[in-house]
Amino acid sequence: MPPAGFHHVEIWVADLALVEPSWKWLFGELGWEPYQNWPEGRSWRIGDSYLVVEQSSAVRPGLPYDRMRPGLNHLAVHAPDRAAVDRVHRVGPQHGWRRLFASAYPHAGGTAHYAAYLVDAAGFEVEIVAPAGDEVTEG
């Protein structure tokens, strides 16, 4: 059977130095490993998939990223368990992430969906999703 899921995702940013610490922390918390490192970018890998955050010289100048415009609205990634979702939600603001839908945490996506929604300093949203049926209590 061929691999499933995405091969890689690239997120182009206007300021790598602004967002790299947040992404590095987040993916470290979720068990992703550093993968590539070059002056304009970083990547992290889990399984056969990897994610790139890059300050490409090909980025067109213009308005800052707006997740409400056509294009990528958010990236959703798996967490190993509910405890990881809780930890990321709790500690994320200390690492450059702003909480979204905090008043509805952890069920902003519905009662059967356990997730944290975070936004980095550049406006990119990440949804951290616990496995279905994981009944670890919130902590």
Domain membership of residue 120 (yes or no) is: yes
What is the tens place of the pLDDT at every residue in 112-129? Answer: 999 999 999 999 999 999
pLDDT of residue 138: 45
**pTM, whole model, 2 decimals?**
0.89
Domain membership of residue 3 (yes or no) is: no
Overall number of domains in the chain: 1
Q: Taking all residues of the chain, what is their mean pLDDT, rounded to a whole number? A: 91
pLDDT band at 139 (very low <50, low <70, confident <90, very high): very low
Please state, in angstroms and rounded to a whole number, the distance separating the CA atoms of residues 30 and 33.
9
Domain membership of residue 1 (yes or no) is: no
Domain membership of residue 51 (yes or no) is: yes
Percent of the chain with pLDDT over 70: 93
Q: Closest Cα to residue 37, out of 57, 22, 16?
A: 16
Q: Which domain holds residue 122?
A: 8-56+73-129
pLDDT band at 135 (very low <50, low <70, confident <90, very high): low
Domain membership of residue 66 (yes or no) is: no
Here the CATH number for the domain that contains residue 90 is 3.10.180.10
